[in-house]
Amino acid sequence: MNDIANHHHAIDLDNHDYYINRELSLLQFNLRVLEQAMDEHHPLMERLNFLLIFSSNMDEFFEIRVAGLKNRLETGTGQPGPDGMLAQEILDQIARITHEAVQRQYHILQDILLPALAEEGVHFLRREHWTRRQAEWVKKYFREQVYPVLTPIALDPAHPFPRLVNKSLNFIVPLDGKDAFGRSTGLAIVPAPRSLPRLIRLPEHICENGNDNFIFLSSMIHAHVSDLFPGMSATGCYQFRVTRNADLEVDEDAEDLASALKGELLSRRYGDEVRLEVADNCPRHLVDYLLEQFELTPQDAYEVNGPVNLARMFTSVNRPRLHYAPFTPRIPAAVKKHDSVFDAIDQGDILLHHPFESFAPVVNLLAEAARDPKVLAIKQTLYRTGINSEILDHLETAARNGKEVTAVVELRARFDEESNIEGARRLQEAGAMVVYGVVGYKTHAKMLLVVRRDGDGIKRYAHLGTGNYHTKTTRIYTDYGLMTAEKSLCQDVHKIFQELTGMGKAARLKHLKHSPFTLHPSLIHWIDFETEQAQAGKPARIIAKFNSLTEERIMQALYRASQAGVQIDLIVRGICCLRPGIPGLSENIRVRSIIGRFLEHTRIYHFHHAGEDLLYCSSADWMDRNLFNRVETCFPVNDPLLKQRILREGLDYYLRDNAQAWRLNPDGTYTRLQPAEDETPFLAQQVLLEELTGG
């Protein structure tokens, strides 16, 4: 990159060197998650959890992203992104980085976290450390609980290699001797049933060192594997797991999207193989045998020093100092003062900053609306809600109470399809009108509209958010929600619902921007306006926070703005394909990523706009899919006090963070920021916890 010309006119914004590959950027995000396992700001069990989150993120990365690249390679389809990299080149880089990362992950587990947890009295016992009493207990447990549900499969011409479920735990077992039929096949596969826990807690009375002693199911099976093959002896037992393509291909023209999707969900369990994880003590010839069965290459094999499915290791121990201190999300004073949520909103817009502030006002708005005789209709988008959802309960109640309930349910929210199909069925049975959004576009907008009788007329109340209507994630994701009765804003929300459920031209909106119509052009316009201001020697500034940046025209507009002298700060949690800090191109752009206790999920766009200070919150990231292939909303925050709050809490604090922030370098790697010796550590999430919850 040193040869980049300093002259603005000489810079070709289509140059592949100016963009970071999307998949490699996502991989960098996962590496930042992995590093949280080494961060002593987090209690020990939470550090272990970050290690497991890394595992589950990597599972999805292989199931979706790597599977997609392999598919591109095989079919010769798919266009390279702005970085111009070809599928094979990306796969090679992924393999190189991932093999190193997985080695580091197991090193952190075995050499750092497990010994530190053992010092705290939390033990994950290896077979060689079992006492005689423990070994006897394990034998009894195996006989009674495990043995009856195991199905060993000998490999011979009558028993070909079985089809193994995506990400299931299995063992390959070499055997000596002959079985009852005189067969000596030499190999068997033992799948571990999914119904069994992967970690078994030992009873206190057989442990000398406290009550948090765990044994892996894999150790238990390993210790007793010969019992499965009477008269033969197992000369080894090696765990492995295969990851498959889990991306769904749904026919958009299907008569019934729900049925089409149900059929596809079954195939997700048996998609094409993309990765093999296997115990690092497994003999080479057996690893090669497995690779051959799965039609994978040695590059696809990950040999691990420990359990092959760490994501199943989540467990809790009742030791408060090993976990985050619990906190109680605050209920805003504006809501507390009133018995009715409607009365509270009548007094002025209410801003909710989750997880520091409670999601309860939103749930209570629905609960109240479901029972209030004055309420005529409720309309809501549902992207991820979870199966046991209070939101669904209240919508059902409202429908049964005769309200007009319309739910726009997005069935294709990845990995939540089943619970969404179930939720849609429940709502339909209660008499709600269920719509599956618009064919070809995922409905990702977060909107709720309540229509209520008000004297002789009607009044609308809306909730607009950056996050899902999922009460569990509102405790662990940072998000904003705005509750409002502002007439023209609610009118806009009403128009978008009409657009989603009916047919016709794109709605003409006064205040909201929405994808796939006005959001992308508006963003380009706002960025270009700052560019013009800077060129005219006037103040110009952009600060934006979102999850990912991949859209090429927005990146090019930002590059032009930087060249004109606009100061740009981007707080991007995950993927960022823009390269900051390139002389003559992007030296006025700074990109940081915050990784901490909570998953950063707010989307905030701020433009100086000739002193007007435009401030929008949105459900959309700056990605192609959000701007062109989804229905998204972007709403202004106009109340001066609320605007100031978002500028301070949502942007300023995150730009000041010097302890959980990572700076993006021009080469696509990230550097962890450290407070200088004379600086006090500033952790944005911690400050917000203290300020907003008093916790």
Q: Which residues are catalytic?
A: 444
Report how far residue 51's alpha carbon sits from residue 48's, in angstroms, rounded to the nearest whole number.
5
Residues sharing a CB contact under 8 Å with residue 347, sequence separation 6 or more, in sequence order: 334, 338
* Alpha-helix runs per DSSP H in 81-188: 87-107, 114-119, 132-141
553 is in an annotated binding site: no
**Cα 300-302-306 angle, rounded to 5 deg:** 160
Task: Judge contact between 475 and 393, C-beta under 8 A.
Answer: no
Report how far residue 399's alpha carbon sits from residue 599's, in angstroms, rounded to the nearest whole number.
34
41 is in an annotated binding site: no
414 is in an annotated binding site: yes
Residues sharing a CB contact under 8 Å with residue 533, sequence separation 6 or more, in sequence order: 539, 540, 566, 608, 610
573 is in an annotated binding site: yes
Report how far residue 186's alpha carbon sits from residue 156's, in angstroms, rounded to the nearest whole number.
9
Report how far residue 427's alpha carbon sits from residue 688's, in angstroms, rounded to the nearest whole number.
37
* C-beta neighbour count of 292 within 10 angstroms: 10
Report how far residue 115's alpha carbon sits from residue 29's, in angstroms, rounded to the nearest whole number.
27
Report how far residue 22's alpha carbon sits from residue 291's, in angstroms, rounded to the nearest whole number.
28
Q: Number of helices and strands (H, E) in the chain?
A: 21, 28
Residues sharing a CB contact under 8 Å with residue 601, sequence separation 6 or more, in sequence order: 466, 467, 477, 478, 479, 547, 573
Q: Which residues of 584-605 are buried (b: 16+ CB within 10 A; e: fewer)?
A: ebbebbbbbbbbbbbbbbbbbb
57 is in an annotated binding site: yes
- DSSP three-state, residue 46: helix
Task: Judge contact between 361 and 335, C-beta under 8 A.
Answer: yes
* Alpha-helix runs per DSSP H in 2-43: 22-35
Maximum pairwise Cα distance, the chain: 90
Report how far residue 22's alpha carbon sits from residue 547's, in angstroms, rounded to the nearest whole number.
13
Residues sharing a CB contact under 8 Å with residue 628, sequence separation 6 or more, in sequence order: 515, 516, 520
106 is in an annotated binding site: no
94: its two tokens: 């992924």
Binding site, annotated residues = 57, 384, 414, 477, 573, 601
Binding site, annotated residues for ATP = 57, 477, 573, 601
Binding site, annotated residues for Mg(2+) = 384, 414
